[in-house]
Amino acid sequence: MPPRLWVLFLLYFGLAVEVTVPPSATVLPTLFKSIYRPEELVDEWRKRRMKEEELDHDVEFSDEDKKKYKEKVRRMFYHAYDGYLEHGYPMDELKPLTCEGHDTWGSFSLTLVDALDTLLVLGNVTEFKRASRLVIKSVRTEEDINVSVFETNIRIVGGLLSAHMLQG
């Protein structure tokens, strides 16, 4: 999720947000284009670090802004979720440009499983129960296929564990 969405996501739940600026993605190419001179590398690093420290600060949002961003996050989630259900389910993902479903690793309805915990966090227990029934009905794990261990852990195991913990 892009950093801006993380801030919006955190705002939705009323969490304190500290914005930090990560090191520039261009630092390494810039540093390695120059002839290797340790003192220049250290100076460059110090300059960039000082700029980053100047930008580190807490962000204050009014109650009105928090409500606005909370609603924006909710709308963004349901736009993506409803689009997936309409055009991508039961496949793993939705291709955004073609609005077609796409299986990435075995047809496990990854997006649906991934969304279970978010439905609970948003307080939509009715849709959570419906989506849970869809997962039980459509996800099959009996096939002997190659899977991405990373994707399986973060999206399936993570989604199911989070939903289980949030459900109580």
pLDDT of residue 124 exceeding 80: yes
Single pTM value for the model: 0.63
Phi, psi (deg, nearest 5) at residue 97: -80, -35
User: Is 109 found in the same domain as 48?
Assistant: no
- Region 9-34: mean pLDDT is 45
Please tell me the predicted confidence (pLDDT) of residue 52: 62
Count of domains observed in the chain: 2
Nearest residue to 112 (alpha-carbon basis) of 140, 89, 78, 83? 89
Dist. CA 53–CA 87, nearest whole Å: 45
Q: Which of 40, 58, 76 is the last residue of a domain?
A: 58
Greatest CA separation found in the chain?
A: 62
> Which residues pair with residue 94 across a beta bridge?
101
- 149 confidence band (pLDDT: 50, 70, 90): confident
101 confidence band (pLDDT: 50, 70, 90):
very high
The answer to the question of residue 51 being in a domain is yes
83-96 pLDDT, tens per residue? 999 999 999 999 98
Q: Is pLDDT of 35 > 50?
A: no
Report which secondary-structure segment, H or E, holds 102: strand 100-102
pLDDT band at 82 (very low <50, low <70, confident <90, very high): very high
| Residue ranges making up the domain that contains 21 | 3-58
pLDDT of the residue at 33:
47
